[in-house]
Structure 1
Amino acid sequence: MIDRDRLASLRADEEARFVALHPRSAELAAEAGRSLLAGVPMPWMTRWPGGFTVFVASATGAQLTDVDGVRYVDLCLGDTGAMTGHALPEVVAAIDAQAPRGITTMLPSADASWVAEELTHRFGLPRWQFAMSATDANRFVLRFARHLTGRPRIAVMDWCYHGTVDETLAVLDGDRVVPRPGAMGPQVDVAMTTAVVPFNDLEALDRRLAEGDVAALLMEPALTNIGIVLPEEGYSEAVRGITRRHDVLLVIDETHTLCAGPGGCTAAWGLEPDLLVVGKPIAGGVPLAAYGMSRDVADRLLAPMLSAEADVSGVGGTLTANPLALAAARATLSSTLREEDFAVAVPLAARFTAGVAEVIARHGLPWHVQRLGCRAEYWFCPPPRDGAAAAAATDEDLEGLLHLWCLNRGVLLTPFHNMALFSPHHTEADVDRHTEVFADAVAALVG
């Protein structure tokens, strides 16, 4: 239904508009190209639309200002890292208070116990450890799972995302496990390390775990990074039953699905994981992640954690759980990501969903908008039930136009897909601005 020539013409116009709006960013991008690989300090930053990357001057609450003075409604929020809103005053104060007393010591601070107890309250798991990122936390719990079970493989959902964990960068090609497109330099054949099953397919999961070589199933309660794919009725409960029947540890990654509430989908849906990973926003933007575990798993891990070789176990890190990060986490969890914060953010995401759905329906497009808590995304297809169907519907040209159209009009979406995230700092006016901009883009596109 999309005229590709019209799309290409609109994209060219938007590229020219982008360049005209961002002369200072263009200068900084040229300077960065002399010393930074690909002109950016981290590869994912190349995914933003436009001929170069926009450089940030400041970010506060739900607003971001670039070096050209252009202000944006920020619906990306650091791809969830700033889901609390930018520059929380409580976190700024905690950092200001802790930094003069020491930033990293490789010794515990009282804040570590406070944060662990708060995570227990939110997620229900009694024992916790920390990591620098959710990627690291996922690596660690997979090591634990193989150690505890003596089994060599882990299982993931087809087209899942759990950070840059080698074993998880795998998809299905028919019945074969192959590297996910874009996975650079796999250390080994992923078919040797990983079993892959489609989301929402209980028979496939049961059949694969019955082979007896899987230590843990690592999964999000709902797929997110390929677009939100929600579990079908009864799916989550059945997954827990299947993993228990085959003595497979269930690891829930709540790093993105924390958008469902203070305790993520685990609390909202009554899930019962053996281990749980959460990261990104829990320290208000300061790098920190955490992984929790059941009492049984903790008891079984205690001896190796107390051994003389614990520091070379592949778990840990010199800067992990530093006092600055834990002070920031305590300030964050004390002041935001609470029920009252989600009570503001979730209705905003619902308003976004309704606005986008109305535009789609008005033009009779076979598109869809999906929501999980305070996170919402739109796709250029009917709602898929698994990751492979979502991946097959990817339309980079169409996505790139809509992202650039929004960016040029002061609305910042996540660059990897059509994700919008809402914080207590957003307003209904912010939502309505996106709806207006989205409606104008669709009208221009379909004529």
Structure 2
Amino acid sequence: MIAEAAIARVAEREAERFRAANPRAFAHRAVATGWFQSVPFHWMKDWPSPVPIVAASARDATLTSIDGHTYDDFCLGDTASLFGHSPPALAAALARQAGEGLSYMLPTERGAALSQRLAAMFGLPQWQVTTTASEANRAVIRWCRGISGRRKILIFNGAYHGAVDDAFVDLKGGDPAMRASLIGQVHDLRDTTTVIEFNDQDAVAAALRSGDIACVLAEPVMTNVGMVRDAPGFLAALRKLCDETATLLVFDETHTISSGYGGHGVTHGPRPDLMVIGKSIGGGVPCAVYGFSAEVAERMAALNAARPAGHSGIGTTLSANALAITAMDTMLGDVITPAAYDHMLRGAARLLAGLEAEIAGVGLEWRVAQVGARVEFLTCPTPPRNGGEAKAAMHPALEAAIHLFLANRGILLAPFHNMMLVSPVTSDDQIDRLVGAFADCTRALKE
């Protein structure tokens, strides 16, 4: 156990160290007053430092701040730059596309090639492009409701699927409740969203056999409430129950693309009916895709043919713009390769082993979880089995102190939880520096 007094002591000391080392970041906040709360978007305030680090540039797995500090970047844009910052092939392709036009509202030859790359990598034959994974999830929910004629969706407690209203329902004391943090929510989402705990096969069976669930929207491994692994056999049972009840299975693989080439469904199974991938597939250029089976495509086409003319509620003007198409085609053709995953998985295994050794060395009852190239330390003795247990095990003050300690020593972790990403350009030296700084932090907390 780590004493609360020790957490407070380390946090205060590290905050002072940050203030002394980052004067330009504080000056930046003073002049960025045109932004609400001094940042272009609110989650930029979620870092544990007294003010956000202000980025100047990033390349490969390294980020440099305006205060001149160089960081080993294990956040990588919270997966947006999972395959490294500005891969040379991507930078060159984007520069060429910028000279040829950015958005036409027309298909391109490169888009045809991209559709084939997506089908080959992820094993689904039909695809559509959106601007964000949030938009893709919203579109998939609409399609699933439309082609099934059912109103409800099923999600898992603690899941996050972007800014999608339907997914913001939690379990509180075993009962569904709309997430209290939602701003301006006026409709009761519980009428159309069923929520249960991850890995609860009996609850899945009971919910799906009611016959009113259009789709299950899930990460095959939960990654946004800490990391919660699928229990042995759970995903296979989920697939079987969906088939038995004519329920569509949707995998949101925006994060679990870390599992291996083709994502978690291709690497470990089972295969979903539809899947969503965002962020990393464009190397950080705003874009996402959703793919679906031939059977789902036929049902979508029939629905389109039968519905009245007018806007479907799916899509935006910038969906599938030329820049996004070029970014994704380049990433899938030149950057996101089996060889890249070989490097990522080897590095993640090195990181996992190093963290486990240091945790054991200081006698802490913590655990380390791994989902392919994604590693996360858990400040609890038992890996959580579901979102409820994961939320109960979180220790925000402790995690913030660790993150700030590491940032002050040139190591960036994702600010929302304890996630560390290993990219194809992350070096062994960077991994070893992270493990060493983590060891120094645990010793400081144990003093």
TM-score by length of 1: 0.98
1:184-223 maps to which residues of 2 (within 5 A)? 184-223=183-222
Once residues 260 and 341 of structure 1 are traced to their aligned partners in structure 2, the CA distance between those partners, rounded to angstroms, is 12
Kept after mapping to 1: 8 A contact 2:348/2:374: yes
Partner secondary structure for residue 101 of structure 1:
coil
Q: Deviation digits for residues 177-211 of structure 1, max 9, x if unmatched? A: 11234222224112112001111110011011122
Q: Percent identity?
A: 40
1:36 lines up with 2:28 in the alignment: no
Q: Deviation digits for residues 287-346 of structure 1, max 9, x if unmatched? A: 110001111110111144468966611111100100111111111111112110011111
Aligned to 1:239: 238
What one-letter code is carried by the residue in structure 2 that aligns with 1:240? R
Aligned to 1:429: 429
Q: Deviation digits for residues 106-150 of structure 1, max 9, x if unmatched? A: 111112221121111111111100000111000000000111111
Kept after mapping to 2: 8 A contact 1:126/1:294: yes
What one-letter code is carried by the residue in structure 1 that aligns with 2:292? M
Once residues 439 and 2 of structure 1 are traced to their aligned partners in structure 2, the CA distance between those partners, rounded to angstroms, is 14
Which has the larger displacement, 272-281 or 67-76?
272-281
**Compared with structure 1, are the counterparts of its residues 175 and 42 closer, same or farther at alpha carbon in structure 2 (3 Å cutoff)?**
same
Which has the larger displacement, 358-367 or 407-416?
358-367
Aligned to 1:409: 409
Aligned to 2:23: 23
Once residues 287 and 253 of structure 2 are traced to their aligned partners in structure 1, the CA distance between those partners, rounded to angstroms, is 14
1:120-131 maps to which residues of 2 (within 5 A)? 120-131=119-130
Once residues 17 and 310 of structure 1 are traced to their aligned partners in structure 2, the CA distance between those partners, rounded to angstroms, is 61
Aligned to 1:388: 388
Partner secondary structure for residue 99 of structure 2:
helix
Kept after mapping to 2: 8 A contact 1:166/1:187: no
Q: CA deviation at 1:275?
A: 0.7
Which has the larger displacement, 358-367 or 173-182?
173-182
Gaps in structure 1 of 5+ consecutive residues:
none
- Give the alignment's Cα RMSD to 1 decimal: 1.3
Kept after mapping to 1: 8 A contact 2:221/2:256: yes
Kept after mapping to 2: 8 A contact 1:304/1:310: no
Once residues 124 and 429 of structure 1 are traced to their aligned partners in structure 2, the CA distance between those partners, rounded to angstroms, is 35
Partner secondary structure for residue 172 of structure 1:
strand
Kept after mapping to 2: 8 A contact 1:133/1:280: yes
Gaps in structure 2 of 5+ consecutive residues:
none
Once residues 160 and 272 of structure 2 are traced to their aligned partners in structure 1, the CA distance between those partners, rounded to angstroms, is 18
**Compared with structure 1, are the counterparts of its residues 98 and 178 closer, same or farther at alpha carbon in structure 2 (3 Å cutoff)?**
same
Q: Deviation digits for residues 50-77 of structure 1, max 9, x if unmatched? A: 1111111000000000001100000000
Once residues 201 and 182 of structure 1 are traced to their aligned partners in structure 2, the CA distance between those partners, rounded to angstroms, is 26
Partner secondary structure for residue 155 of structure 2:
strand
Kept after mapping to 1: 8 A contact 2:60/2:85: yes
Q: CA deviation at 1:175?
A: 3.4
Aligned to 2:63: 64
**Compared with structure 1, are the counterparts of its residues 310 and 419 closer, same or farther at alpha carbon in structure 2 (3 Å cutoff)?**
farther
Q: Deviation digits for residues 90-114 of structure 1, max 9, x if unmatched? A: 1111111111111001111112221
Aligned to 1:257: 256
Once residues 217 and 327 of structure 2 are traced to their aligned partners in structure 1, the CA distance between those partners, rounded to angstroms, is 28
Aligned to 2:112: 113
1:354 lines up with 2:353 in the alignment: yes
Partner secondary structure for residue 314 of structure 1:
coil
- Figure out how many residues of one structure are paired with residues of the other and give that number: 446
1:89-238 maps to which residues of 2 (within 5 A)? 89-238=88-237
**Compared with structure 1, are the counterparts of its residues 191 and 308 closer, same or farther at alpha carbon in structure 2 (3 Å cutoff)?**
closer
Kept after mapping to 2: 8 A contact 1:177/1:194: no
**Compared with structure 1, are the counterparts of its residues 437 and 309 closer, same or farther at alpha carbon in structure 2 (3 Å cutoff)?**
farther
Partner secondary structure for residue 182 of structure 2:
coil
Partner secondary structure for residue 312 of structure 1:
coil
1:318 lines up with 2:338 in the alignment: no
Kept after mapping to 1: 8 A contact 2:170/2:178: yes
Partner secondary structure for residue 339 of structure 2:
helix
Aligned to 2:277: 278
